[in-house]
Chains A and B, each alone.
Chain A
Amino acid sequence: MKKKCLPDSPFEGDLKKLWRIMRVTWFFLLGLILTVSANSYSQNTLLDVDLQNSTIRNVIQYLEQNSEYVFLYRNEDLNIEKRVNIDLKKASINQILDKVLEGEPVFYNVYKRQIVIQKAPGSVISRQAAIISGTVTDTDGGPLPGVTVMVKGTTNGTITDPEGHYTLPNVPGDATLLFSFVGMKVREVPLQGRTVINMVMEEETIGINEVVVTALGIEKEAKTLSYNVQKIDAQKIMAVKDASFINSLAGKVAGVTINSSSSGVGGSSRVIMRGVKSISGNNNALYVIDGIPMPNLSSEQPEGVFAGAGQTGDGVSNINPDDIESISVLSGPSAAALYGSSASNGVVLVTTKKGQKEKLSVNLTNSTIFSSPLILPEFQNTYGQSETGSYYSWGDKLTTSSAYDPADFFQTGLNVSNSLSVSTGTEKNQTYVSVSTVNSEGIIHNNDYDRYNFSVRNTSNFLDDKMTMDLGFMTSNVREQNMISQGQYFNPLIPVYLFPAGDDFSKAAVFERYDASRNFKTQFWPYADQGLSMQNPYWITERDKFVNHKERYMTNATLRYKFADWINLSGRVKLDKSNDRYEKKFNASTNTLFASENGYYSLNETETRQIYAEVLLSINRYFNDQMFGLTANIGSSIEDVLYNQDMYGGKLHGVANLFTYSNINTSTSEASQSGYQKQKQAVFASAQLGYKSMIYLDVTARNDWASTLANSNTKSFFYPTAGLSGIITDLFDIKTDIMPYMKLRISYSEVGNEPDLFLTIPTYALASGYPQTRTRMPNADLKPERTKSWEAGANFIFFKNKLKLDATVYKSSTYNQFFEPTLSSSSGYTSVIVNAGQIDNKGIEVMANYNDMFGKLKWSSYLTWSLNRNKIVELLPGWTNPVTGEIISLSELDMGGTGSYKMVLKEGGSMGAIYVNTLKTDEHGAIYVHPSDQVVVADANHFVYAGNSNPKYNLGWGNNLNWKGVSLGFLFTARVGGIVVSNTQAIMDAFGASKASADARDAGGALVNGRRIPAKDYYQTVGGGASGGIGSMYCYSATNVRLSELTLGYDIPVRRWCNWMKEMNVSLVGRNLFFLYNKAPYDPEITANTGTYYQGVDYFMLPSLRNMGFSVKVQF
């Protein structure tokens, strides 16, 4: 019985203290299950111990390994580093412990198989004559030894003896007794004149008393919450490490859809909780680190056929995953109301690690992961070029199949991450220091990602432990090179995927050749750009560079003063600063669309600085004979964000490949500058009132003053939440072994959202030094956007804590959306920003956990299920023009796309609706085929609804098996419903490069309306050129099921051989391994755009990665 046998589903709590509580609970439960046989264990077990000059820690470890005893103690109570000499044969546990703990200011109790070591009570001060006594028992009636009994508010206390008896002298008649025992619920009993108090202690149930981090970093017991919080232990989900930790959450949290960017390692992620809500705003979740919201560092996203090169990662990708202690996901806005605006999309709360008291621990981890494309389109290699030099493969069938395989272009990706952390501390002062490196090479040469993180954190207590100071500093240094997500520009996949199999690709490998007239090597590419801005793929990877350097510094300080146990005041300040440099360097002889004959250079520098400060008064108190508990917070915060961007660049003038400003041709140079400062001030309060620890009422309120509302009619905005939860099993006393716990909860919340920058004070944009008329109609009457939502849920525990089930249903409506309908340009304006529209989301989140033991095999399993339905209830039903009073309505909004695909918002539809263009049809609706020419005809303007980019539901099923230190984990994820459109497949068809086009030719033509028509004309029409062909012919189901994680690990029992090493684990890990089901020609879960639109389309996206590797973790 070692601690590896403890439940290790990622959803169990894991603050150190808490974890220990759970440990105890687990053994209690086991004890209950195993009943009597265990009771005699302590009396009958005799042990041999021969340990010289060993620390107490080692002795305890020895005993735990060689017996079924388990030790429970607090680090601050026991000096475990003290060295002792023990040589005992066939000794009872009491004999051994008497020897070991000799002279230590502690005492111990043996209860069944657990040994509780506790600090000896302080000196007892006699003041009054009343002597209180009694017996403490567990719920089975058995005596409980070792229970601490204290007079509340004093140091007067004692411990129950082996029979559960206690006697406490000198207790005032109006005092309150506190009974506490590790793993049991703390009980408070006012004496009210009584002198005999017998107490029945109840064990805490696994998971119920889990402490979760909620808004503002406030820790609360999960059972008291009226909304859904899913807590994830970072250690457990990051078994398979990703450079960006958020990707590790996919499939493990209900209500969250995570799509990683196609730009590869270190790229951005799209994290949508409970559906997209805002038409024009950001729909991604808010990240909050140690209680402080992170600035939005997301970058511009490709949303058409051209862009996609030079991507960069988002703000969370800068965080070192090893610094994370735990993550709480608050998927609903009710949970996040205290963070204000940006939290309406849900919040990912990250708690970072800090130093441990009186314990030195050093952790070293390495993870080495190899990657390859998970899925590629299907190519043909049996048909030759249309003619020599052509890029089209519509020629004759080759006598021997070509050996050309586009997959050969990819290299094996490698991602090596190392991290070292040191945690140390005394009672008063704890320090955590970590360094980590990530060095990654993508599957395309020169796509590199390097990250270096350093963090240090110090926590100290002073003024009689009343004052706590927490100082932290984190920095990251990131270099990204050639992160490409999709699109025509600088995308090597286009020439590679379309390359005519009949030609010799090895010619292209010599991508530059000596140009005698220029006396240096220039690009070799005899195929022209094919209307797709095509270049030699090797030239793109070797000579056209997008290099980003990003530095980020986060400094924070927290000061907390504890006036009393139940009240404290804290102040927090954080400075988060990023400096990013984005460089583009295109060598001479790059396509003239991008560069002069001498090349191109640009440098874009951005600076983001966020200052966040907050004061918070927290109260946590029980009243009225423990009947009522109140947790309340009142605070105020200020958030100030400064952003500046400066860019200059242009085609190079005199000297080829000299990438510097002075070499830029000023007449065609580009320059841009932008920036802003915005500030938000808020006061907020929250209160939670509990009744008998069974019913809880939660209310919050917040008022925001936002600088973006300056000059508008609204100066500030207020939003409240309210929630109610009740532990039904306690309330009605219906606890059974089958269902020991059931909680019901309901909550309502409102969240306000501020308008975009500068809207309230219109200015005139400049072009070449001349101000331009405004194209956007000014509208001073802007109100904050509002999301109102309801959620109701239930939490169950079944079968003696083996099965835990959480379910939530929710509905949210987002009103007063800021959106920018286009106006008839005959008005002189092209658009106006108005408050209108309503988007509804409703759905279900279910999460189930199952833990069981089969002999020594421990199995834990979890299931997540998320369902969301999005509906555009209204767009612009009737907006009154303030100038003329006329009513403007709009029921449709085109959000753009490629030539063959677009997203359109329509009233009654959904925000993921995909529209595609079609072929001309006949009067029966069948595809029109020209009777004599045998060709189909494009109807490129005619867009029809094809489906939705959003899933109907998502499923995740994860399992962990553990047997004697060997662990096996696997996670299946499934997405059901929705469609995707592949423009890649269309263009490959048009070029005759796809397997489909070869199959059609082999079969004598493309099958249309049951007849074969000439394949070339057909595919060149439906695949149609650069614009992506005919979308309706390239829609695929997005349903897919995959093995998304697999780990096989072994905890090497290093302690058997050496004292200085505590733990060592080696694991084989795999992520995104294979599809069990997928009908699309690419991975439907990756996206080029992590924003709201341009979803569910593939325009030569880089393939998603299959990752396999190993990790080693060592703890000293």
Chain B
Amino acid sequence: MNLNKIFFRNKLHLLCASLFVLNACTGSFEDFNTNKHEATDEMMSHDNLKTGAFFSQLQRNVVLFDDGTNLSSDYQVAQGLTSDLYSGYIAPTGTWYSGVHNGSYYFITGWIEKTFRSGFSSIMPAWQSIVEVAEEQDLPEVSALATVVKVEAMHRVADAYGPIPYINYGSGSLQNDYDALADVYAKFFEELDNAIDVLTNYVNGNPSAKILENYDVVYEGDAKKWVKFANTLRLRLAMRIVYANAALAQTEAEKSINNPIGVITAENEKAALKHSSDLVYYHPLYDIAYNFNEGEARMSASMDAYMNGYQDPRLAAYFKPAVSDGGYHGVRLGISTSVWTRYVGNNISNLNINQSTTEIVWMTAAESYFLRSEGALRGWSMGGTAREFYESGIAVSFGENNVTGAENYVTDATSTPAAFTDHAEGSSLNASAPSDITVAWDEAAAFERNLERIITQKWIALSPDGPEGWAEFRRTGYPKLFPVITNNSNGTINTDTQVRRIPYPQSEYNNNNAGVQVGVAKLGGQDTGGTRLWWDKK
């Protein structure tokens, strides 16, 4: 018994000691709780990852694609079911919500927030991190480059919604007020002006130097090309506001032309995500048109009318002929989904996308010419005539699509857009020709007629860049697009003037109500698809 007691006492001591030891052993807890499959802050300090990796992130989020984080379906809800439709490039053939969705002007809340979210949670934080590190390391050219890409991404967001909480971004505040679109654009110009100056100086000082070469999948670090892109982007944005602030538009546009490096002129200067070993991807429209339920997008009726009317040689580059008759046949926007199988069937043209060669294009070289053409038409100093630029734009577009015959095409003064005939079995949502605009330049024609000509050709050349096509349609009214068959907007969107913007995400009303209310006030109208943006003044 006594022995036992002693034994027991010792055991108790032992127990207490073991508890103590056990619980002192929390030293490896930090190691345990660090994710071994993600990069730590220390690793991020290596190889300039905080600039390089985030620059890569910027580039991957201007247009979303399947990159390991985003999916093709993210592209689809961000632009495949908004601007790609409203620009008249593609028509949705998915079976969602009995056809009561974006395609018939009934906005699905889960879809319309993607553009906002990718802009603010992928683009802006990456840009902010790059700028912070670049400032620390005194690399203004890196910061400038990031700013250019940011503006390229964020103007798409601004052009979709209108006022956005852009200027004071990064204050640390979780609820931010929205800025008027005019102010956002002023900020864009300020940022671009600065960035272009910095980059121009950099190019002049280091003619052969590259910036972030290993991370740049657009220009492989070629600073000169970035300056050209930035100048063209400034020209694009300048033109966007021409009906809202003509003087500022002209000033900013001419700055780009007068920059010593200038705007994009050559096909190889277009801004696109290059297929390479560093970036293996395919265009998300491939998944959407071919893999998602046998195709949730097809050639639109408007593309059908214009390109068939002009017998445009780019038709075969853009679309696949319908299996049944070898022709190119599109689909109207706003069809009822109960007949959708007819529209994904053999009578309709699918998109022509090559998985390994089709690039995601931010800006074509052709666009640069069309912008200058319009500038020249407006009497701005663009370094040439409207006609020269117009015809070069078409030629460059043909070249970009590896299509010949531009010489004949630009002289065609007779072909006009065709009437639309619905080729889907048992469907007859036909429409008369949307316009009678011809291709060939007519110096004698009125301003408006030539403007339509420029924008119509620009629209064809931009395809399938929905955000730009839709923005230009809203700004100029061209090309004339077929209206939706069914308008489920509950009277908020006029069928003829078509959709002018997309409403703010519901999540902003939930999480940033005061901010978004300021935005609605600055929008100058209701938060619906029918309210025109600040630059939409024509």
Chain A interface residues (CB < 8 Å from chain B): 387, 390-392, 528-533, 563-564, 567, 569, 592-593, 615, 617, 634, 636, 638, 667-668, 673-679, 681, 683, 705-711, 715, 757-758, 760-761, 763-768, 770-775, 777, 821-830, 832, 881, 883-884, 886, 888, 890, 892, 899, 937-938, 940-941, 990, 1016, 1020-1021, 1023-1027, 1029
Contact = CB atoms under 8 A, between A and B. Distances in A.
A938 B100 contact: yes
Given A770-B57, A888-B175, A1026-B96, A617 B120 contact: no
A564 B4 contact: yes
B23 A681 contact: yes
Contact of A636 (B22, B107, B121, B488): B22
A711 B172 contact: no
B35 A758 contact: yes
A528 B171 contact: no
A885 to B, nearest CB: 10
B511 interface: yes
A391 B345 CA distance: 14
Contacts, number: 269
B108 A941 contact: yes
Interface string B384-395: 000000000000
B402 interface: no
Given A679-B29, A711-B33, A771-B53, A528 B341 contact: yes
27 contacts: A531-B293, A531-B294, A705-B29, A706-B29, A757-B33, A763-B35, A764-B53, A766-B38, A767-B68, A771-B49, A771-B53, A771-B54, A773-B122, A821-B511, A822-B510, A826-B164, A826-B512, A827-B174, A828-B170, A883-B173, A899-B97, A940-B100, A1023-B98, A1025-B96, A1026-B94, A1026-B96, A1027-B95
B19 A530 contact: no
How many interface residues does chain B have, given as a range?
A: 35 or more
A828 B166 CA distance: 11
B98 A828 contact: no
B169 A828 contact: yes
Interface stretch (B5-13, B194-202, B361-369): B5-13
A830 B164 CA distance: 16
B463 interface: no
A616 B19 CA distance: 11
A1077 to B, nearest CB: 33
Nearest to A683: B19
Chain A facing B: main interface SS: mixed
B428 interface: no
Nearest to B1: A564
Contacts of B297: none
Given A528-B341, A828-B128, A710 B30 contact: yes
B412 interface: no
Contacts of B356: 667
A530 B116 CA distance: 31
Q: Which of B98, B99, B108, B129 has the most A CB atoms < 10 Å from its CB?
A: B98
Contacts of A888: 174-175, 511
B106 A940 contact: yes
A883 B100 CA distance: 42
Contact of A592 (B107, B174, B290, B344): B290
Given A392-B338, A673-B37, A899-B96, A823 B511 contact: yes
Given A681-B22, A710-B30, A674 B117 contact: no
B109 interface: yes
B293 A533 contact: yes
Contacts of B169: 826, 828
Contacts of B32: 676-679, 707, 710
Nearest to B507: A822
B193 interface: no
Given A758-B35, A830-B121, A531 B67 contact: no
B170 A638 contact: no
Nearest to B340: A531
Contacts of B11: 563, 569, 617
Contacts of A886: 173-175
B128 to A, nearest CB: 7
A763 B40 contact: yes
A678 B100 contact: no
Nearest to B120: A825
B341 A773 contact: no
Contacts of A615: 15, 18-19
A938 B38 contact: no
B508 interface: yes
B538 interface: no
The 9 closest A-B CB pairs, nearest first, are A531-B95, A1024-B98, A824-B512, A763-B38, A710-B29, A825-B120, A1025-B95, A883-B172, A767-B69
Given A710-B29, A773-B126, A826 B98 contact: no
A940 B173 contact: no
A761 B38 CA distance: 11
Contacts of A528: 294, 341, 344-345
B176 interface: yes
Contacts of A710: 26, 29-30, 32-33
A479 to B, nearest CB: 29
Contacts of A832: 174
B96 A770 contact: no
B25 interface: yes
B446 interface: no
A826 B294 contact: no
A593 B291 contact: yes
B292 interface: yes
Contacts of B53: 764, 770-772
Q: Which of A711, A765, A771, A938 has the most B CB atoms < 10 Å from its CB?
A: A771
Nearest to A902: B110
Nearest to B508: A824
Nearest to B107: A941
Interface in B303-356: 336-338, 340-341, 344-345, 356
A683 B176 CA distance: 47
B60 interface: yes
Contacts of A567: 8
B4 A563 contact: yes
